[in-house]
Structure 1
Amino acid sequence: MRAQALCVVGLICFPVAAWPGGAEAQTAGIEGVVVDSANHVLPGATVTVAGVDSAQAADPPFDAVLDTTVTDGAGAFGFAALPVGAYMVAADLSGYASGMVGPVEVVAGQVLGVRLRLEVAPLSEVVTVDASTGAGQPLEKDEFGTEFLQVFQLPTDRFQDALPLLPGVVRDPRGRISFNGTRPSQSTLLVNGANATDPVTGQFAFELPLSVVETVEVNAVPYSAEFGRVSGAVTEVRTVAGDDHWDLNFGSLLPKPRFRGGTINGINTATPRVQVSGPLKRGRAWISQAFDYRFVRSEVKENIPGAREEVVEGFDVFTQVDLKLTDRHSMIGTLSVFPSTVDNLGISSIDLGEATPEADLGGWNVALVDRLATGANTLWETRVALRGFDVAVRPEGSGPAQLTPDGLRGNYFNEIDRASTQLELGVARLQSWDWRGQQHLVKFGAQVFATSFEGVDRSGPIEVRGADGRLLKRITFRGPGELEASDVMTSGYVQDHWQVSPRLALDLGLRYDQSSMISESHLSPRTAFSLALDQAGRTLVKGGWGLFFDQTFLQVDAFERFQQRVEQEYDGAGSARGALLVFENRIDPRGFEEPTSRVWNLEFDRQLTESLLLRVNYRESRARNRLLVTRVTDPAAPALVLSSTGRLRSREFDATVRWTLANDQGDLYASFSKMRADGDLNDFGEIYDNHRNPLLLENQQSFQPFEVPNRLLLWGVVRLPRGITMTPGIEWRTGFPYTIFSEDYSVVGVRNSSDYPAFFSADLAVTKRMDFLGRRVDVGVQFYNLTSHDNPRDVLSNLASSSFGSFRNSIGSTVALRFGLGF
């Protein structure tokens, strides 16, 4: 761990400490406290102080370890009679990730106060090894912290806006987040360890005020066995706890104006937020409360009739209470509510406002976490959570939807009114020990998810019309569309982080999953390694392999009760042509199998210089038994058949360079990635999403709609003098694929065989923090798409359209001001 590493470096590299001598030597002191993430004091932590060369503050070499102590019952420590100079202070406690502060400068006669916060060690952070100790972390993850989220240009001030800064993360054409060439529904969102994805659709369905987000961690390949029902990535959000000081913060107080015709015309985006935190009882109980309001307009940048904007309005409320029952026993309770309304959902220059729905999307979550340390090396964690997700999507007009060569007109066709609930129970034990000189940290756990939903899913008529208005096909739906389903999923896991040697670390895991809905149980083994190729640990090779079982959508159990789709084709004279096709919703006679993915990766890390780090990574995922919807058009027995025969293969290569600026002035990142994702296109989750496509095409195997073959990212945080922070961001990528249709919306050639133009955007935010009348003030300006590059979001892809092949609806450039207050 970091404190142990600091001792080793000091004792090996500098066996003789150079102390100032003589009666003229001047001394100082350092004192402080060690706390956990909830600000509970941590007795028994080992604290070490070591001298550093302050002239090399970007990566200071350690001088001799000067002293070591152990925190008292109040978590306090102190070092007296230190020579004047610069120091690193590190703390280490079994069951926690190490913490370090510094370099800190002490002057003669001064006693400097410091505070070290230790996080309960996730398995991916158990061994935080300094460069001199070698192996590093087998379980790779990326992290965004509070400071970054507050200063970077996030278009809607949500933590999700930061995720596409990672090389393998993109927003697909429908705005959903795809990780590493996998479908959005193959990834999972956790908030303080609790699941936050919609059990019906598998989509992220949780909103939080940005001011309570402490860290956002992304496990690109979730090899740890504690992660279940996922094969894409795990995004885990941890929230801010209160402490013994009352704080009041306001953020994003200035709305972003809407410009039309070169003048301000109303508000485009308003995301004000407020957060207050402090003690309910000092040293024992704390509260953190946050509220934010969201009003976001997304305008169609074309001259279209009727409404021209998608409007999102909602609010997010989050409350967290932390209790310290004893020095080794704590509880955390959270409550969150996040309702929102979307008007003209999915409006574009192709699908006009009259043909888009209104949607009410929201939910709530109550969670309680109990942590108990029962020994020097044992930590128990018990979790109980109850959550609900509500979805209501409804047409805004009357009459049939009309699908024309120029897009959707008339009305939206589908109505959803659904409520789902989920109860989550979990218990885990974290145990560390040394065996034959090798360190093991083992986590055992069990989980139960009891989920159910009920509601209606009904659709109205759809008319496919030609360029001259002729009726080419009519689609209707039969049946009540009343749905309900339930499932109980149980799981157990064991995960061992094994420090084999100073240069080799292994993570070995095994997970058991069982679903009452599928009536199957499975074991999924996983392993990862990290090997240092040199003694100093400047060159690392990492990799892993895992078997993953993906989530089975809850509405799969209701598939046979979905409305039946009825299709009738017409000839040029308007007379019915061919047989009326009434598609029965049918389950494959072979039954279901759990969707599985086999994932492996290989990574090379090299510390090129003290400030330059290179990371090269290759990932490959092969998904089988994906839920696939197949059209059977035999007039004798037409059907939509749901089976477990889908396939998806994704391959991604990325290379990233991180430049750490001197004197803690920030970091700059440059990354290039290549990705291919191909497989079956009629994925159940894509077809039966909350926002439906009127077309249900023949299945093909082709490129996925979120595929980005080439992508370049440049971004970072630069801290300038006088409290100024600059955050540049540049993205270039190849365009998403799309499909070409004939007049009646039959596919021409292969689906997703054409591409949008390349995307390019240069963004910049500049913020300044200053004090005004004793209050902290943050002011700044944000620029999006500085070059006004044409980045179209729509394409007319029907051959019968008079504007076939034209790209439309570029987002343009925008400017926004930032203003925040802290008390």
Structure 2
Amino acid sequence: MLLPLCHWMASGQGQPAQTGVPQHARQPAVVITVRDENRDPVGGARVTLTSPGTSFALVVQTDFGGRYRFYGMRNGKYALQVGKEGFYPAKTGELDFAPGAEFPITLRHVQEFRESVDVTDTAPAVDPAKTSSTDQLTNREIFTLPYPTTRDFRNVLPFIPGVVLDNRQEIHVGGSAGYELFHQLDGFNITHPLTGLLDLRVSPDSLRLIEIDQSRYTAQYGKGSGGVLRLETGMGDDRFRYSATNFTPGISISRGLAFENLTPRFTFSGPIKRGRAWWFEGLSGEYDSNLNKDLPLKRRNSSPLWRIDSLSKVQVNATPGNIVTASFLINHQKVERLGLSLLTPPASTTDQHAEVQMFNIRDSAYSGQTLLETGVGISEFTQKTLPRGGLPFVLRPEGVSGSFFERISARARRLQGYGNLYLSPTQWHGRHEMRVGIDVDSIENHQFVSRQPISILREDGTLARLSVFSGPPRFTKDNFEGSAYAQDRWSPMERWVLEYGVRGDWDEIIHDAWFSPRVATTYYFDGPTMTKVSAGVGLFYDATNLDFVTRSLQGLRLDQNFASDGVTPSGPSVPTLFQVDTTTLQQPRFVNASFSFERMLPRAIHVRLEILEKRGRNGYAFFNVNPIAATGGVYQLLNVQNNRYDSVQITAEKKFAQNHQFMASYIHSRARSNAVLDFSLTNPTFAQQGGGPLSWDTPNHVISWGWFPITKKIDWAYALDWHTGFPFSVANQQQQVVGPPNSHRFPDYFSLNVHVERRFRFHGYEFAFRVGSNNITGSKNPVVVNNNIDSPEFLTFSSFQKRAFTGRIRFLGRK
């Protein structure tokens, strides 16, 4: 459906428009240079040029170096308005345009608090030059939206259209798996080297922008067919700034007065040398007792958690044309007695330690209209799961006993380097902005896994099943990835932009190269409605997922069933084994096509209709080569998965005076695959691979949020999330799948959060105090279901979400 429309767009058919610039400059150009408060160029800024007293208006976009050159302009008086999402807009008075004139413009990043209420963020508008399907949250929205557990920025992501957070807390964009999303922090890859997931924490107060591309993104971004998640963090400026959030402890009175948790966040920033060098520090910590109120006081009834995150950054403008930025990030987390419950005593729980360290340095060098970006970085993820003893692990109908059966020590490291060269714009049948780049990644993965036998007892205490693991406890798997791309942004007319490019990737495991051509275009129908249509199609590949490749290195599991006497074996042992032959594997690929229609309705309401199609081929899936699933699972990794995702999305948003805002979005989608089962060694499912809806499929999804003034100092904010319940499979007592995979669903999910915030001054300092309720309607929203068809509790849901009352206090410094 979308491919013929993409061809029509690319052919340039449609309403004609004026040519933006001549092919050859006959006289010196008038140059506009847009930079931020740290003298960094602001690319992609919308520049509106008007001539006072006339109807003349021209909308253009700055290049990668933050510049735009006006050729052939008549001498005279002109005015400029410059804006970009995440910045306060800038306006100029009348400027004298003459050949060779240069006009610098400074855009300042949006701050959470602004002294003057007359300063408003850049309003959402139809961007005539943007081709990608992109949604974003600025720091103001991250601070203001009432989402649960605000100390973790990942919990705000479901309030971006097209994003789903499943019951396992994995992020899905546009119907993709969590490992199919490419994650980037300040230009560096932060994807976990083993799992491909987002396991890195950054304090929400450190974030300046969260941006997600679902489709039509350029060839610069690869290693993720599902989309791109970009995180941009803050930097100091010439003013010292500091803030604090939730610096007072949480108190519990359910069992007497006690401190229950402490989740402080701090930011500090300022100049090292004004106009030349700046620093930024973002800190967050957490202590949570995780008190289990279902357990008696005489037992250890808590699972305490300690966590600290730190992001340190320095920027030095070595010369006006050379900017160096370095950053160091560390996450450290410790949890004791993880899994504690009525059925799991403290001795059967585990202690977990996790740490992430990341250091990177980036250099940006400008020469004329050419920009060269280079960067190197290293990141390391370590994790330990430690049982609390060495006793045999026993599963009983009334719960578990002994020590947990699994001990894990894992370390994954990524060494990366990249270079992007943004060439000077050229003129040939319009304006061309070209860029080329490379990136290389060296990945190391080391694991130690030790598993003890599992004894499963009946109600009478006899042995029903014994699970035994064998295999080497230590294994290593490394990889090396290399990529290169070329991209051109062509503007043959003022209203028409065409972006096309190609990307090439190679890695050591697949030992082959694959190429990804992509094209996207947008056409802007000038006028009061600011109507725009966009379309694009491209080929997208995923990075090789080491989690799939290394399952064959984890050994063998044998399950032996026993007769009612608990001594006599019942039938042969049932094996679970994974096999991987990397010489036969191909790289999973997706063809993504999309179409978008945007316009401004009366009262400045921005409306966007987005249609997206994804067709995946050669996806990784484990296929049970044992013809009789009940006799065991010998799972071979094959390129057999074919995925299909279709969605229609409509979004409306509006910004009001004094930075108040409203957004609503509805998505109807369908995410299906011919291989939806994910087999594992520790929790085996005996079945043949089968098709059905993916585990994160939500055919109907509505989100809405906003904040509005009650009085001059008090705001009311809400956030709503409703979607169809997630699908799940049914199994029997022998852990065999019954019926088609994912044939049942959880109840629909609904959550409404409502908060009220008041800002006030105290002794010359600015504070903000917020109270509210998450899940104010008390919707149950279960995350666990008994899917055992042989159990008397079959289809019983549990682990319900409760209504929660919350408070927050923020110290914003002296204003």
Tell whether the structures are fold-level matches, with TM greater than 0.5: yes
The aligned counterpart of 2:107 is 116
How far residue 151 of structure 1 moved from its aligned partner, in angstroms, is: 2.0
> Residues 622 and 693 (structure 1 numbering): CA distance in 2 closer, same or farther, change over 3 Å?
farther
The aligned counterpart of 2:636 is 641
Q: Which runs of 5+ in 1 are unaligned?
A: 1-7, 12-31, 53-60, 76-86, 107-112, 120-127
Q: Please tell me whether the aligned partners of residues 301 and 811 of structure 1 are also in contact (alpha carbons under 8 angstroms).
A: no
The aligned counterpart of 2:205 is 211
Distance 1:668 1:88 in 2: 30
The aligned counterpart of 2:230 is 236
CA RMSD of aligned residues (A): 3.9
> Residues 717 and 406 (structure 1 numbering): CA distance in 2 closer, same or farther, change over 3 Å?
farther
Distance 2:381 2:89 in 1: 41
> Residues 804 and 722 (structure 1 numbering): CA distance in 2 closer, same or farther, change over 3 Å?
same
The aligned counterpart of 2:708 is 718
The aligned counterpart of 1:289 is 281
The aligned counterpart of 2:721 is 731
> Residues 65 and 749 (structure 1 numbering): CA distance in 2 closer, same or farther, change over 3 Å?
closer
1:509 to 484, 501, 504: 501
Distance 1:165 1:296 in 2: 26
Which letter does structure 1 place at the counterpart of 2:805?
Answer: V
How far residue 766 of structure 1 moved from its aligned partner, in angstroms, is: 2.0
> Residues 465 and 169 (structure 1 numbering): CA distance in 2 closer, same or farther, change over 3 Å?
farther
2:412 matches 1:420:
yes
2:343 matches 1:365:
no
How far residue 247 of structure 1 moved from its aligned partner, in angstroms, is: 1.5
Q: Please tell me whether the aligned partners of residues 350 and 796 of structure 1 are also in contact (alpha carbons under 8 angstroms).
A: no
Q: Please tell me whether the aligned partners of residues 676 and 695 of structure 2 are also in contact (alpha carbons under 8 angstroms).
A: no
Matched residue SS, 1:283: coil
**What is the 5 A alignment of 1:122-141?**
135-141=128-134
The aligned counterpart of 1:26 is none
> Residues 150 and 443 (structure 1 numbering): CA distance in 2 closer, same or farther, change over 3 Å?
same
2:546 matches 1:554:
yes
Q: Please tell me whether the aligned partners of residues 438 and 501 of structure 1 are also in contact (alpha carbons under 8 angstroms).
A: yes
The aligned counterpart of 1:707 is 697
Which letter does structure 2 place at the counterpart of 1:781?
Answer: V
Q: Please tell me whether the aligned partners of residues 245 and 279 of structure 1 are also in contact (alpha carbons under 8 angstroms).
A: yes
Moved more, 565-574 or 348-357: 348-357
How far residue 798 of structure 1 moved from its aligned partner, in angstroms, is: 1.7
The aligned counterpart of 1:657 is 652
The aligned counterpart of 2:779 is 789
2:81 matches 1:90:
yes
Which letter does structure 2 place at the counterpart of 1:793?
Answer: V
The aligned counterpart of 2:160 is 166
> Residues 524 and 576 (structure 1 numbering): CA distance in 2 closer, same or farther, change over 3 Å?
same
Moved more, 393-402 or 303-312: 303-312
2:667 matches 1:673:
yes
How far residue 610 of structure 1 moved from its aligned partner, in angstroms, is: 3.5
2:617 matches 1:624:
yes
The aligned counterpart of 1:38 is 38
The aligned counterpart of 2:182 is 188
1:615 to 602, 608, 614: 608
Q: Please tell me whether the aligned partners of residues 153 and 204 of structure 2 are also in contact (alpha carbons under 8 angstroms).
A: yes
**What is the 5 A alignment of 1:758-769?**
758-769=748-759
Count the aligned residue pairs: 742
Q: Please tell me whether the aligned partners of residues 136 and 160 of structure 2 are also in contact (alpha carbons under 8 angstroms).
A: no
Distance 1:100 1:258 in 2: 42
Distance 1:349 1:173 in 2: 21
How far residue 446 of structure 1 moved from its aligned partner, in angstroms, is: 0.4
> Residues 130 and 584 (structure 1 numbering): CA distance in 2 closer, same or farther, change over 3 Å?
closer
Q: Please tell me whether the aligned partners of residues 466 and 743 of structure 1 are also in contact (alpha carbons under 8 angstroms).
A: no
The aligned counterpart of 1:227 is 221
Give TM-score, length-normalised by structure 2.
0.82
Which letter does structure 1 place at the counterpart of 2:584?
Answer: G
How far residue 468 of structure 1 moved from its aligned partner, in angstroms, is: 6.1
Which letter does structure 1 place at the counterpart of 2:640?
Answer: T
2:380 matches 1:392:
no
> Residues 47 and 477 (structure 1 numbering): CA distance in 2 closer, same or farther, change over 3 Å?
closer
Distance 2:304 2:55 in 1: 58
How far residue 190 of structure 1 moved from its aligned partner, in angstroms, is: 0.6
Q: Please tell me whether the aligned partners of residues 386 and 423 of structure 1 are also in contact (alpha carbons under 8 angstroms).
A: yes
The aligned counterpart of 2:74 is none
> Residues 397 and 643 (structure 1 numbering): CA distance in 2 closer, same or farther, change over 3 Å?
farther
Matched residue SS, 2:636: strand
Q: Please tell me whether the aligned partners of residues 403 and 463 of structure 1 are also in contact (alpha carbons under 8 angstroms).
A: yes
> Residues 48 and 786 (structure 1 numbering): CA distance in 2 closer, same or farther, change over 3 Å?
closer
How far residue 183 of structure 1 moved from its aligned partner, in angstroms, is: 0.8
Kindly provide the CA deviation profile for residues 741-768 of structure 1, in whole angstroms up to 9, marking residues without a partner as x: 2222222212221111122211012222
Kindly provide the CA deviation profile for residues 700-749 of structure 1, in whole angstroms up to 9, marking residues without a partner as x: 22222211121221212334542333321122222112222222222221
2:325 to 328, 332, 338: 332
Q: Please tell me whether the aligned partners of residues 682 and 699 of structure 1 are also in contact (alpha carbons under 8 angstroms).
A: yes
Kindly provide the CA deviation profile for residues 49-101 of structure 1, in whole angstroms up to 9, marking residues without a partner as x: 8799xxxxxxxx998899xxx9xxxx9xxxxxxxxxxx985359xxx999762
Which letter does structure 2 place at the counterpart of 1:738?
Answer: F
1:564 to 556, 574, 578: 556
Q: Please tell me whether the aligned partners of residues 301 and 809 of structure 1 are also in contact (alpha carbons under 8 angstroms).
A: no
Q: Please tell me whether the aligned partners of residues 125 and 600 of structure 2 are also in contact (alpha carbons under 8 angstroms).
A: no
Matched residue SS, 1:792: coil
Give TM-score, length-normalised by structure 1.
0.81
Distance 2:519 2:345 in 1: 50
Distance 2:292 2:786 in 1: 15
Q: Please tell me whether the aligned partners of residues 510 and 583 of structure 2 are also in contact (alpha carbons under 8 angstroms).
A: no
The aligned counterpart of 2:334 is 341
1:777 to 767, 774, 782: 767
Distance 2:698 2:418 in 1: 37
Distance 2:296 2:639 in 1: 42
Matched residue SS, 1:501: coil
Matched residue SS, 1:338: strand
How far residue 504 of structure 1 moved from its aligned partner, in angstroms, is: 2.0
> Residues 182 and 411 (structure 1 numbering): CA distance in 2 closer, same or farther, change over 3 Å?
farther
Which letter does structure 2 place at the counterpart of 1:808?
Answer: S
2:793 matches 1:799:
no
Matched residue SS, 2:598: strand
How far residue 606 of structure 1 moved from its aligned partner, in angstroms, is: 2.8
How far residue 623 of structure 1 moved from its aligned partner, in angstroms, is: 2.1
Distance 1:492 1:483 in 2: 31
> Residues 181 and 665 (structure 1 numbering): CA distance in 2 closer, same or farther, change over 3 Å?
same
> Residues 427 and 461 (structure 1 numbering): CA distance in 2 closer, same or farther, change over 3 Å?
same
How far residue 693 of structure 1 moved from its aligned partner, in angstroms, is: 3.6
> Residues 144 and 203 (structure 1 numbering): CA distance in 2 closer, same or farther, change over 3 Å?
same
Distance 2:93 2:35 in 1: 22
Matched residue SS, 2:737: coil
How far residue 345 of structure 1 moved from its aligned partner, in angstroms, is: 4.6
Distance 1:536 1:703 in 2: 43
Q: Please tell me whether the aligned partners of residues 256 and 816 of structure 1 are also in contact (alpha carbons under 8 angstroms).
A: no
Moved more, 269-278 or 179-188: 269-278
The aligned counterpart of 1:21 is none
Distance 1:808 1:116 in 2: 50
Distance 1:473 1:159 in 2: 43
Distance 1:399 1:634 in 2: 37
The aligned counterpart of 1:486 is 478
How far residue 280 of structure 1 moved from its aligned partner, in angstroms, is: 1.2
Q: Which runs of 5+ in 2 are unaligned?
A: 1-16, 21-31, 68-77, 95-103, 111-121
Distance 2:85 2:754 in 1: 34
Distance 1:221 1:304 in 2: 52
Distance 1:807 1:349 in 2: 17
Moved more, 412-421 or 516-525: 412-421
Kindly provide the CA deviation profile for residues 220-273 of structure 1, in whole angstroms up to 9, marking residues without a partner as x: 226211111101121111111111111121112234445648x86642x53211
The aligned counterpart of 2:89 is 101
> Residues 249 and 98 (structure 1 numbering): CA distance in 2 closer, same or farther, change over 3 Å?
closer
